[in-house]
Amino acid sequence: MPVASGRMELWRRLALLFGVITGLSLFFYVAPAMVSVTAVDWAQEQADELRSISGYVSQEKRRLNQLPLLDYIKEKTGGQLTAVDSSQWTEFFTQVQLASGGQYEGSAYGNRVSDQDKDPFWKPKWPVQVFFKPDEIPWAEWGLVAIDGDEVYVSNTAGGKTSYLLLRYEDYSTSISAMSKPYRVAPDWLYHPYRSLGTGVMAMGLLLYIFLPRRKKQTDDIAYSTGSILAGDLVALILLVPFYGLPFLINGGTVQAITGMWPISAAMWFLAGFCMILLLLGAIYSVQRNHQER
C-alpha cells in the first residue's frame, strides 16, 4: 500500500508539473511569421500626396500627384506588380478589401484584423492590415521574400476593374524581442495559436492533482496533515509559475525566451528547478507514516 500510494502521489505532482511547464510554454508561444495583406486605393494614395500637417508639400509630392494614375502606380510599386489569376483570387481580393476597409462584419476575414485596429481608442486609419498564416496564401509565388518587412504588390482584374493589395512579410521570430513587439500584430488567435490548448493543459494538470485518489489516513497513523502537504505544494507552485513563466513574458514568447535574453531565462529556470524539487518532495512527505505502538 505505501508503494502504491507513493506512486499515486508522485503521479499527482508530475501531472501538475506537466500541466504548468507544457501549458505555460503553449500559452506564450508566438507564431513564427505572418503575412499581412492591405487593400490599396491608388487614387486615394495619389490624392494624399498633397496632404501635409505642416502645410508644406515638396516638389516631388506635387510631381507624383500630377502623374497619370497608371504611371503613379508604376512608380510607387517600382514596376514590381504581380497580376494574380482572377478565376481563383477574385473572392479573396473582395473579402480582404472589405476587412481592410473596416467592414469586419461583412467580410469572411473580419476576424483577421489586429485587435488594435478594431479598438476605437486607437483611432484606426483604414485601410488596415489583414493577417494570414504563411501556408494560407501563395505569397512566395507572388514575389514576397521571407524577410521581415519585405513587401510586394499584387493586382487582380475582374469585371473590367483592377484591385490592388499590398503584402508584407512579418517575421515575429526576429521582430519580437525582450519587452518589445511591433505596434500591430495579428489577432490573438493567430498570434498565440496554442493559447487555448495551453490553458486546457494547465487546467487538466490541476484537475488531476486534485482528483487523483489519495490514501485514506488510518486511525493509528502518525503523518503530516493533508493541509500541511497542500500548503507546501501551493508554495512550490506559487514560486514555480513566475520563475518558469516570466522569461516567456519578458522575451515576448516561448521561442524568444531561448533565442533572446537567454541568460535571464537560464537563471530563472534554474530557480524554477528548485521549485520542482520542492513539489516532488511533497510526494515523499505525503506517504511518510509511522504507526502508534499499542
- Residue 208's pLDDT band, with cuts at 50, 70 and 90, is very high
Find the range with the poorest average confidence among 68-77, 103-112, 116-125, 213-222: 213-222
The overall average pLDDT reported for the chain is 89
Ramachandran angles phi, psi of 53, nearest 5°: -65, -40
Q: Are residues 119 and 263 in the same domain?
A: no
Q: Are residues 43 and 105 in the same domain?
A: yes
Q: Are residues 93 and 232 in the same domain?
A: no
The percentage of the chain sitting over the pLDDT mark of 70, rounded to a whole number, equals: 90
d(C-alpha 63, C-alpha 222), whole Å: 91
Q: Which stretch of DSSP H or E encloses residue 170?
A: strand 161-171
Q: Are residues 243 and 146 in the same domain?
A: no
Q: Locate 157 and state its grid cell.
A: 482584374
Type of residue found at 225: S
Q: From 25, 28, 6, 7, select the one nearest 17 (Cα to Cα).
A: 25
Q: Are residues 75 and 212 in the same domain?
A: no
Q: Are residues 186 and 197 in the same domain?
A: no
Residue 155 has pLDDT above 70, yes or no: yes
Domain count within the chain: 2
Residue that finishes a domain, picked among 162, 190, 218: 190
8-state DSSP, 110? G
Beta-carbon contacts of 223 under 8 Å, excluding residues fewer than 6 positions away, are 217, 288, 289, 290
Q: What is the pTM of this model?
A: 0.86
**Which pLDDT belongs to residue 34?**
97
Domain that holds residue 213: 2-29+192-291
